[in-house]
Amino acid sequence: MQAAQITHYHQTTPTLQTIPIPTPRDHEVLVKIKAASINPIDLKTMAGGLKLLLTYPMPLTIGSDFAGEVVAVGKRVTQFKVGDAVYGRPQKNHIGTFADYIAVATADIALMPRHLTYQEAAAIPLVGLTSYQALHDLMHLTPGQKVLIQGGAGGIGTIAIPLAKRMGAYVATTASRKNFELVTCLGADRAIDYHTEDFAETLTDYDAVFDTRGGTTLEQAFRVVKPGGTVVSVSGLPTAKFAKDYGLPHWKRALFALAAHKLTRLARQTKTRYHFLFMTPSGRQLQVLTDLIEQDAWHPTIDRTFPLSQVDQALAHARGGHARGKIILNIGE
Ligand SMILES: NC(=O)c1ccc[n+]([C@@H]2O[C@H](COP(=O)([O-])OP(=O)(O)OC[C@H]3O[C@@H](n4cnc5c(N)ncnc54)[C@H](OP(=O)(O)O)[C@@H]3O)[C@@H](O)[C@H]2O)c1
């Protein structure tokens, strides 16, 4: 089979290699991948930017989520059968979706929403689970609460906005002005052009901020959120608590505690909570998303689709940092 691989960190372009088709283990299914999505984590993985959290043996097939068809099942698999259309985000030590096939644990997959194409379904797992875990598991958003979602036109924003609206929240978001129509159609109640307007000057008393930017943008979030509120960042600095929960050794916990000191101080001063979220693969939560998406007959926003042979161009497009929704790789269709 074909697989987009790197042989070392800091390799900016993966190369297509021919490698053996994997054999599913007892609790795995073999999936013929039809589409995968590009995520910024793919770029970070290739650049070696996640080495403190994850190290990979080389060569490494990249790619973090997929949609495809089950073509074989392991001995102990009962929930899925050959022919099922599934999607998923494999465990972080088991990535490799820019490829024709993947053997993946049944715990990490779910049946795809029936009304979606493989390309649309592939847009969902990583950003969908991240958004669900931020808005539902950590913020516990309830109807009427106000949330700011940074980067509303991006991969996360285009699923987080409709999800937050579905939970009954009032949603403000940041985007370039040219994307105001998109974020408004997705349900945003208030759009802020981050090029010309300072969100921290305009917004106050928010229950929660979903930060996708990190840096000073994240620090400013503590001016927006009210006491008792929550800031969740997927791009900021991990905390010591995260490092402990993630099972990192003491020296890394100490390192993260030091690095996130300013953020934990800001949270203390403003009487708010700060969480760093490193999303967790979950077939169970993905099934919840499947059900919601089917009920709403919802379709994700696709920016562009590239064939696997143009994976370098797809990654370069993502590197530009201004995707409108998701960038998709078409594989084997
Ligand atoms: N920790 C985790 O588990 C986790 C999970 C998923 C993602 N992430 C991280 O979250 C970040 C966002 O992911 P994504 O998939 O949404 O990325 P993405 O699709 O590449 O985001 C592109 C979007 O970012 C917007 N943007 C650029 N600069 C901005 C700014 N200063 N303020 C507000 N928006 C801005 C752009 O908006 P305009 O084009 O409108 O300017 C564009 O729509 C990435 O860093 C990713 O690595 C982390």
What distance in Å separates the CA atoms of residue 34 and residue 68, rounded to the nearest whole number? 5
Residue 109's pLDDT is 98
271-290 as b/e: b if 16+ CB within 10 A: ebbbbbbbbebbbebbeebb
- Going by the DSSP 8-state scheme, the letter that residue 99 receives in this structure is B
Element (H, E) at 223: helix 215-224
CA of 214 to the centre of ligand 1 (A): 10
Q: Which domain holds residue 25?
A: 2-124+300-330
pLDDT over 80 (residue 181): yes
Whole-number Å distance between alpha carbons of 133 and 11 = 31
**Mean pLDDT (whole number) for 256-261:** 92
For residues 147 and 161, give the distance between their C-alpha atoms in angstroms, rounded to a whole number.
9
Pair 30, 70: CB distance under 8 Å: yes
Is 286 inside any structural domain?
no
pLDDT at 172 exceeding the cut of 70: yes
- Mean pLDDT for the chain? 97
Atom of ligand 1 lying closest to residue 279 CA: 3
Predicted confidence band of residue 312 (pLDDT cuts 50, 70, 90): very high
The answer to whether the beta carbons of residues 199 and 225 sit under 8 Å apart is no
Does the beta carbon of 212 sit less than 6 angstroms from any atom of ligand 1? yes
Looking at the fold, whether 177 and 46 belong to one and the same domain comes out as no
Looking from the CA of residue 175, the nearest atom of ligand 1 is: 40
* Residue 293 in domain: no
Q: Is the pLDDT of residue 79 over 70?
A: yes
Co-location of 88 and 170 in the same domain = no
Residue 168 Cβ < 6 Å to ligand 1? no
Alpha-carbon distance values, 132 to 229, 232, 264, 279 (Å): 18, 12, 23, 9
154 CA to centre of ligand 1 in angstroms: 5
How confident is the model at residue 52, as a pLDDT?
85
Question: Among all chains, which residue has been given the structure tokens 């022919």?
Answer: 83
Same domain, yes or no: 157 and 132: yes
- Give me ligand 1 centre to Cα 323, in Å: 8
CA-wise closest residue to 326 among 183, 151, 156: 156
pLDDT at 51: 86
- Domain shared by 120 and 133, yes or no: no
Residue 104 has pLDDT above 70, yes or no: yes
Question: Quick one: which H or E segment has residue 77?
Answer: none
CATH code (residue 261): 3.40.50.720
Q: Which amino acid residue places its CA nearest to atom 34 of ligand 1?
A: 151
Residues 107 and 139 occupy one common structural domain: no
Tell me: pLDDT of 333 over 70. Answer: no
Does the CB atom of residue 37 touch ligand 1 within 6 A?
A: no
Report the SS3 class of residue 70.
Answer: strand
Owner of token pair 């099942």:
73
Q: Tell me, yes or no, whether 163 lies in a domain.
A: yes
Whether 295 is covered by a domain: the verdict is no
CA distances for 188 relative to 61, 179, 297, 330, angstroms = 37, 11, 18, 30
Q: Is the CB of 179 under 6 A from ligand 1?
A: yes
Are both 88 and 162 inside the same structural domain? no
Q: Which two tokens stand for residue 269?
A: 């001063």
Is the Cβ atom of 146 under 6 angstroms away from ligand 1?
no
| 264 and 193 within one domain | yes
For ligand 1, whether the C-beta of 156 sits within 6 Å is: yes
Domain count, the chain: 2
- Binned at pLDDT 50, 70 and 90, residue 332 comes out as confident
- Position of tokens 């790197």? 6
Task: Give the span between the Cα atoms of 187 and 172, in whole angstroms.
Answer: 10
Question: For 121-143, what is each residue's pLDDT tens digit?
Answer: 999 999 999 999 999 999 999 99
Q: How far is the CA of 180 from the centre of ligand 1 (A)?
A: 16
Nearest CA to ligand 1 atom 10: 212
Q: Which of 47-61, 77-91, 154-168, 294-308 has the lowest mean pLDDT?
A: 47-61
More confident residue, 139 or 240: 139
pLDDT tens string 191-207 = 999 999 999 999 999 99
Residue 283: inside a domain: no
234 CA distance to ligand 1 middle (Å) = 9
Task: Give the mutation target among 62, 156, 274 for probing the ligand 1 site: most ligand atoms within 8 A of CB.
Answer: 156
Examine residue 32 and state whether it is found in any structural domain, yes or no.
yes
CATH number at residue 110: 3.90.180.10
CA-based diameter of the chain, in Å? 58
Q: In this structure, are 141 and 272 located in the same domain?
A: yes
Residues 93 and 182 placed together within one structural domain of the fold: no
- Assess whether 191 and 239 both reside in one domain: yes
Is the pLDDT at 68 greater than 80? The verdict is yes
If asked whether residues 37 and 103 sit together in one domain, one would say yes
- Which of 234, 246, 327 best tests ligand 1's pocket when mutated (most atoms within 8 Å of CB)? 234
How large is the C-alpha radius of gyration of the chain?
Answer: 20
> Residue whose CA is closest, atom 15 of ligand 1?
155
Residue whose Cα lies nearest atom 20 of ligand 1: it is 321
**Are 176 and 112 contained in the same domain?**
no
> Which residue's CA is minimally distant from atom 23 of ligand 1?
154
What confidence tens digit (pLDDT) does each residue in 11-42 have? 989 999 999 999 999 999 999 999 999 999 99
**Residue 290, domain member (yes or no):** no
* Confidence band, pLDDT 50/70/90 cuts, at residue 173: very high
Query: Does a structural domain hold residue 158?
Result: yes
176 close to ligand 1 (CB < 6 Angstrom): yes
